[in-house]
Structure 1
Amino acid sequence: MTSVNTSATYSWLNSTGITGLTDIDTAQLVEAAYEAKLAPADQLQVKADANDVKSTAYGDLSDVVETLADTVEALTSSSALASLRDDVWAQSSAYLSTSDSSVTASSVLSATAENGTASGSWTLQVEQLATAQKIASDSVADSTAALGLDGSFSLALGDGTAATVTVTSDMSLDDLVDAVNAAGAGVTASVLQVSSDSAMLVLTADDTGQEISLADVSGDALSQLGVLDDSGAVANELRAAQQAVFTVDGVEITRSSNTVDDVLDGITLYLTAAEPDVDVELKVAPDYSGIEQAIEDFVDAYNSYRDFYDTQQAYTAGVGADDDAVLFGDSLLNRLNSTIAGTLTGSFGDETLDSLADIGITLDENNQLTIDSDTLESAIYDDLDSVEAIFSERSTTGSDDLLVSDGGGFSGSFTLDVTVGADGTITGASVDGDSSLFEIDGKKLVGAAGTAYEGVTLIYGGSASDSIAVEISQGLASVLNDQLDGYTGSSGSIQKAIQSLDSQTADYNDKIDDLTASAQDYAQKLYDRYAKLEAQLELLQQTRDQLAALWGTNDS
């Protein structure tokens, strides 16, 4: 226990009197009175210390619940278009394999797929890589020496805008490199140091598959450097510009770049090596391993939370709660645990898979989640839609014109009657004749606050009035995500409990300060009173001694 008694800093504790002529122990008397005055402050300090310990425990609870909430959110999807989502269920992966065991697919090409990309497979062959053109000059002895050339020349890449580079007689090869790079023509200049007395100007196209266009405008600097021959053609091409050539399912395709994102929807190809005789099989499918990892992260986070809960509920018969069980019997923790436990054991999903147990996730005797990896993997690879239904929000509508953008935690079915005016704008939206349930915001229909549809957002793209069936279901992760939201964050129950404790502790500390100051003031006044008493006793003793001397008597 922390004591608020700071009386050791006061001089009256270290003195037994003023003159020593009396037997009164002033310091002991004052200290006893001071301690008595501080007793209420010490009791408040005990409460403040207990609050600090509990606040720390709530902080630890917040950490494990926040981690659990993060893993739950990762498994939560919205009903929006797959291409607009970034949850694990919408993520797509590109898988590669080759027909030749001696060649790895990744050495020929790699690929990425955007979220929501439709699954499919293709056979590719890379016949030729795109290359960037390189042109060189004749060699000079010293790249820092003046070239003695005057004039200007034009420079461009492919169909790009030409830039003019001016050359003066005092410019060196190094200076010419700087001038070309400053022109911004899509061509990069550099010096190739062939030997100690031989250097060349090298011009490299910034983009593959495009040729460098250059010509002397005034003077003949490029011809003098040996970049152009007497006919104005490139004299020394180190590498020709080349198009990428590859096939997709036997169809030959040519592109100027080795990065290709306009052949297969949602897929970017990165060509890295020409292997004309090697078939590379490209398959785009959901990110199975990412989904499995997300589920494993959720299980690990829940088990960490459960470890914390069990520690807080540790109890020894005949003794009571363990020392570490700071939150033993705490109503907030018990309410949270009941919420989580009820959701974990609930029924979610479809008619094929409707619980965690169906995908190999069960509670053991210690209420820890365990995973049967074989069962989980089989469910993910064989019936991913049903696995997603266990965790995530799902929605269907009776018309392609109506999209559920956000289910908002709603679960159930209803028929939405949409009224569209002659000008194509939505003029009304109702359920069972009640037009107050949804608010109209352009093409968006937003569930009204305080109704069962609060949080639901629908988007209607039709041009005519319609009556459309809507069904929305919530999965374990989407339900738990909403539940944990009430406990986490700055406005959650846990943080509010911490703030309440901290506020109470601050009040305790203010009262402790007031009581301590009052006790110190009382002690000082009491000490002053005892000091006066001792002074009076000393004066009486002196008077007694004087009288004894006058009368010649001594009672001692």
Structure 2
Amino acid sequence: MTTTSSTDPTASATSQILTSLNSGSGIDTPNLVSSLVAAQYAVKRDQLSARSDALSTQISDAAALLSGIQTFSSSLKTLVGSGSLSTQPTSSNASVLSVSALSGAKLAGLSASIEVQKLAIAQTSATAVVADRTATIGTGSFTLTFGTATVAGGAMTGFTAGSGTPIDIAIDADHASLDGIASAINAAKAGVTATIVTDSGGARLMLKSATGAEQAFTLTASAGSDPALAALNVGVGATGTTIGTAAQDAVVVLDGIAVTRSTNSVDDLIEGVKIDLLAASPGTPVTIGSTRPIASLEQVVTDFVDTYNHMLALLKEDTNPISGTLARDGAARTLKTSLAALTLTPLTSGGAAGVPATLAEIGVTTNRDGTLSVDSTKLSRALAATPDAIEAMFAKGSAATGDGLPAALDAIAKAAADKKYGLVASQATYDKALGAIADQQTRIEDQAEAMTTRLTRQFASMDARVAAYKSTQTFLEAQIAAWNKKD
């Protein structure tokens, strides 16, 4: 990086004067001027420097506290979001179907049996081979109709149109090739996707619908279209295309009752459970159950206490009334008070009498120094007796009501980040004060420079007079010596 510098005429003149001093008086004038200026502004400089350092430390400590509480809150929310702290559904055969919990699900005691007889399938079709996928086939339009169909030997043998309105897909000159027709079908976003599959023989137009029996479709070249488009027709009597798979619903037997669904991802069979059907396995029921996260809940209580104590140590140091950098910071003190109240804050509502609702009631104890500890025996008893209540404490609650520890901790973190009353406001105040001190320091240096220039000029004038006096003295001494010699 190249830097440029400019010469201050005043500073240059001052430097020249200082260099020429001492010729008359013999006094070390440059050092004297420097000492006088330093003495004049030393106290103020030290005061401003100390205040600047203190404000920088306050800004840093406030930022560390804010980052700490925000990380504390976000880490807990992430853990809760992972589902590891709530009862999860289980599948006895994950290769046939997998299960996961829906948000807010209460799955304690879940027990069900599911037999997957059929998977939901989409209709697929393929045209005959076309040698050149970019060659013109024809223009006109296709009509796409959805409904139910019967298929045998790769041919559609029957079709009943559904209640939906048929969709027209225009094929203009820019879309007259196999590639163009595929592009036009996809651009219509009508519920069928088109792809081009190539092999050594050429290219085929592949069409695929969504899954479900009512997603069978026909594609028919409209009257007035180029006759060549009819070779791409899909439907009863179409000879230029082959049905690869027929559209069908998933068929499952839930606790002895057969039901159908149009997709293989089902969230309305068992309350609170999403079921993904992966393979048909007629005659082989899969057992759906649930497992409680007892070990995870014990661990999260311990981790919460450890993190809380670390956060408290920072707060104690920063708010120490004698040595704390944030001893007078209202936001820091509020954060400390809010955290201290967490163990007695009701984290759930509407529970029956005797059901724990606070951390203190499940074994989180507040020590005399404000730190927390875990009564593992009490926690184990609470988990054995009221596991649902403890799950609810660590569940994602309502931001409005504060239900759940994540919501309570999030409220504290948001208060700390408030731009008017929180630590963010404190940082802004300290930043402003730091800027004001920087301005004062600049003014002090300007004043010191001005004083240096003034004193230098004054001493230069004095030195010149002393030099003149010395010259006169030397002349007189020489005259007197001459007179005395004559005598």
**Are the equivalent residues in 2 in contact too, given 1:146–1:172 (CA < 8 A)?**
yes
**Equivalents in 1 of 2:447, 2:381: separation in Å?**
73
The one-letter code sitting in structure 2 at the alignment partner of 1:383 is T
Q: Secondary structure at the match of 1:139?
A: coil
Aligned with 1:95 (options 68, 89, 111): 89
Q: Deviations over 1:113-160 (max 9, x none)?
A: 23255764322111111111111111122323344x565442233334
**Equivalents in 1 of 2:438, 2:174: separation in Å?**
83
**Equivalents in 2 of 1:139, 1:88: separation in Å?**
49
Q: Secondary structure at the match of 1:185?
A: coil
**Equivalents in 2 of 1:167, 1:228: separation in Å?**
23
1:164 CA displacement = 3.8
2:446 — aligned with what?
A: 517
Q: Secondary structure at the match of 1:236?
A: strand
1:269 — aligned with what?
A: 275
**Equivalents in 2 of 1:531, 1:169: separation in Å?**
93
**Equivalents in 2 of 1:152, 1:331: separation in Å?**
74
Q: Deviations over 1:33-67 (max 9, x none)?
A: 10111122222322322232233223323333444
Aligned with 1:258 (options 257, 264, 289): 264
Matched, 1:199 2:203: yes
1:359 — aligned with what?
A: 362
**Are the equivalent residues in 1 in contact too, given 2:76–2:406 (CA < 8 A)?**
yes
Matched, 1:125 2:115: yes
Aligned-pair RMSD on alpha carbons? 4.8
Q: Which has the higher helix share?
A: 2
Q: How many residues align structurally? A: 446
**Equivalents in 2 of 1:186, 1:126: separation in Å?**
26
**Equivalents in 2 of 1:484, 1:151: separation in Å?**
63
1:31 CA displacement = 0.7
Q: Which runs of 5+ in 1 are unaligned?
A: 1-8, 76-85, 99-103, 315-320, 395-403, 409-473
**Equivalents in 1 of 2:316, 2:373: separation in Å?**
17
- Comparing 269-278 and 498-507, the one that deviates more: 498-507
1:358 CA displacement = 5.2
Q: Which runs of 5+ in 2 are unaligned?
A: 1-9, 148-161
2:228 — aligned with what?
A: 221
**Equivalents in 2 of 1:144, 1:382: separation in Å?**
71
- Comparing 497-506 and 31-40, the one that deviates more: 497-506
**Are the equivalent residues in 2 in contact too, given 1:13–1:27 (CA < 8 A)?**
no
**Equivalents in 2 of 1:223, 1:273: separation in Å?**
37
**Are the equivalent residues in 2 in contact too, given 1:92–1:115 (CA < 8 A)?**
no
Cα separation, partners in 2 of 1:128 and 1:170, compared to 1, 3 Å: closer
**Equivalents in 2 of 1:390, 1:189: separation in Å?**
50
Matched, 1:36 2:39: yes
Matched, 1:135 2:86: no
Q: Deviations over 1:344-399 (max 9, x none)?
A: 479999535476465344468986545577864663464035437878999xxxxx
Matched, 1:246 2:252: yes
Cα separation, partners in 2 of 1:308 and 1:155, compared to 1, 3 Å: same
2:65 — aligned with what?
A: 61
Matched, 1:188 2:200: no
Higher relative contact order (CA 8 A, sep 6+): 2
- Comparing 238-247 and 275-284, the one that deviates more: 275-284
Q: Secondary structure at the match of 2:251?
A: strand
Aligned with 1:49 (options 50, 53, 59): 53
Aligned with 1:26 (options 26, 29, 47): 29
**Are the equivalent residues in 2 in contact too, given 1:16–1:24 (CA < 8 A)?**
no
Q: Which has the higher strand share?
A: 1
Task: Compute the TM-score of the two structures, normalised by the length of structure 2.
Answer: 0.72
**Equivalents in 2 of 1:54, 1:228: separation in Å?**
76
**Are the equivalent residues in 2 in contact too, given 1:344–1:476 (CA < 8 A)?**
no
- Identity of paired residues, percent? 27
**Are the equivalent residues in 2 in contact too, given 1:114–1:267 (CA < 8 A)?**
no
**Are the equivalent residues in 2 in contact too, given 1:146–1:169 (CA < 8 A)?**
no
**Equivalents in 2 of 1:312, 1:116: separation in Å?**
42
Please show how residues 428-507 of structure 1 align to structure 2 within 5 Å: 489-492=418-421, 494-507=423-436
Matched, 1:154 2:143: yes
Q: Deviations over 1:301-342 (max 9, x none)?
A: 20221342566699xxxxxx9xxx754977866786566446
**Equivalents in 1 of 2:389, 2:54: separation in Å?**
48
Task: Compute the TM-score of the two structures, normalised by the length of structure 1.
Answer: 0.64
1:279 — aligned with what?
A: 285
**Equivalents in 1 of 2:63, 2:481: separation in Å?**
81
Cα separation, partners in 2 of 1:554 and 1:246, compared to 1, 3 Å: farther
**Equivalents in 1 of 2:414, 2:172: separation in Å?**
68
1:19 CA displacement = 6.4
Aligned with 1:383 (options 369, 377, 386): 386
**Are the equivalent residues in 2 in contact too, given 1:16–1:28 (CA < 8 A)?**
no
Matched, 1:237 2:243: yes
**Are the equivalent residues in 1 in contact too, given 2:135–2:177 (CA < 8 A)?**
yes
Q: Secondary structure at the match of 2:449?
A: helix
Q: Deviations over 1:177-206 (max 9, x none)?
A: 2233334432222222121x3322222224
